[in-house]
Amino acid sequence: MSSPIGDTSRPARLAEPGEGFGADELALATRNHGLPLEALRYDVTPPGLHYVLTHYDIPYVNGDAPWALAIDGAVQRQLSLGMDDLRAFPAVTARVTMECAGNGRARLDPRPVSQPWLVEAVGTADWTGVPLRLLLAEAGVDDSAVDVVFTGADHGVERGVEQDYQRALPLGVAAGDAPEVLVAYAMNGAALPPQHGYPLRLVVPGWYGMAHVKWLRDITVTGTPFTGFQQTTAYRLRQRPEEDGEPVERIAPRALMIPPGFPDFMSRERVIRPGQVTLEGRAWSGRAPVVSVEVTTDDGRTWHEADLGEETAHRWAWRAWRFAWTAKPGTHVLSARATDAEGSTQPLSQPWNRGGFANNMVQRIAVHSLDGEQADE
């Protein structure tokens, strides 16, 4: 492509061996943000601590102007629904753990150059909205329908392709009830914040974040599979650029630990005092319920079963876990790994692909256990 836009919108690439993070990766990291891991303490992530990834700009939506959601394509009745129309449908609230498909990308070798997440692109919220299946039933889906395409109001360029952000779900998922997909207008009991899709977003429990289309303005039922950029170019698991690749869909199991003790400002390494330390965190999987979390305090030589928190009615939310540890003086490397009811567990070495997607390699936390010493000058 010889378009001038190609000068600023370049192909995807891998970092060279030893290449530091670039100004482009940093520009994404300063805009988007992860969950500070100490916020794993909260069942529901407080506003502003939930991870955020925006492909383009956050659209400016004036709250006084009407917003209409179109439902069209292979349907019997085209609909245009205002916010009051949507609120007239039955409302459902679901507690959902959402994770970016690129979480962990920055730890891969070679590193795909994109939003450079370490492990923190996650959060849990109570989302309230209308089940999508009710809206599709209202519109009357044609027998010919294959996919349901969701279009957001965010507009940009990516690898030379100018686009509104668009993703599709197979009709069976969109109209299903396990998970029940929501068109959500509230987060934690309040209107959506701008960065989480005000006034409307899709919520697809169990799926990675790219499926949860924000600033949702159009739902189009199609009779052929959707082949848009975010469906067939981005968000595919590929070893080589020319492969079609597998689609990125449900969240792989992961456990994260609240880093114990206190941090060094710059290295983010941890300091604790020797003795009893409770290690705790959260675990989740979008594929099947988490059935086990194991903990190592010796960098993977031995693993111990952690106590899982009580099972709750929140199938799509993370589960608490804890493990009592007696820390001896010295340096320790801590990890936790989750296993779900389908038997999937987290790998110790990287599950590599060119996009850096669906990577659930275990977290490693270096902890220095210092004998009673107060460090100062």
Binders of its own copies in range 283-322 (CB under 8 A): none
List the one residue from 110, 176, 194, 351 that touches its own copies (CB under 8 A).
194
Distance CA 303, CA 297 (A): 8
Residue pointed to by tokens 């902890």 = 367
Half-sphere exposure of residue 85, counting CA atoms within 13 Å on the CB side? 15
* x/- map, 7-26, its own copies, by CB under 8 A: xxxx-x------xxxxxxxx
| CA 268 and chain centroid, separation | 23
Q: Does 57 bind its own copies (CB under 8 A)?
A: yes
Token couple for 49: 């601590």
Distance CA 279, CA 295 (A): 9
Q: Does 5 bind its own copies (CB under 8 A)?
A: yes
- Taking the complex as a whole, how short is the minimal distance between the CB of residue 240 and its own copies, in angstroms? 19
- Taking the complex as a whole, how short is the minimal distance between the CB of residue 57 and its own copies, in angstroms? 4
Q: Does 54 bind its own copies (CB under 8 A)?
A: yes
DSSP 113-148: SSS---S--EEEEEEEEEEHHHHHHHH-B-TT--EE
Residue pointed to by tokens 């329908």 = 145
Q: Does 155 bind its own copies (CB under 8 A)?
A: yes
- Taking the complex as a whole, how short is the minimal distance between the CB of residue 330 and its own copies, in angstroms? 9
Q: Does 1 bind its own copies (CB under 8 A)?
A: yes
Q: Does 161 bind its own copies (CB under 8 A)?
A: yes
* x/- map, 97-136, its own copies, by CB under 8 A: ---------x------xx-xxx-x----------------
Distance CA 348, CA 344 (A): 13
Q: Which of residues 215-274 bind its own copies (CB under 8 A)?
A: 259, 262-269, 271
Distance CA 34, CA 104 (A): 11
* x/- map, 353-372, its own copies, by CB under 8 A: -------------x-x-x--
Size of the site for its own copies (CB under 8 A): 80
Asked if residues 147 and 119 have their Cβ atoms less than 8 Å apart, the reply is no
- Taking the complex as a whole, how short is the minimal distance between the CB of residue 282 and its own copies, in angstroms? 14
Residue 240: partners with Cβ closer than 8 Å, 6 or more residues away: 354
Closer residue to its own copies in complex, CB, 12/134: 12
Closer residue to its own copies in complex, CB, 56/89: 56
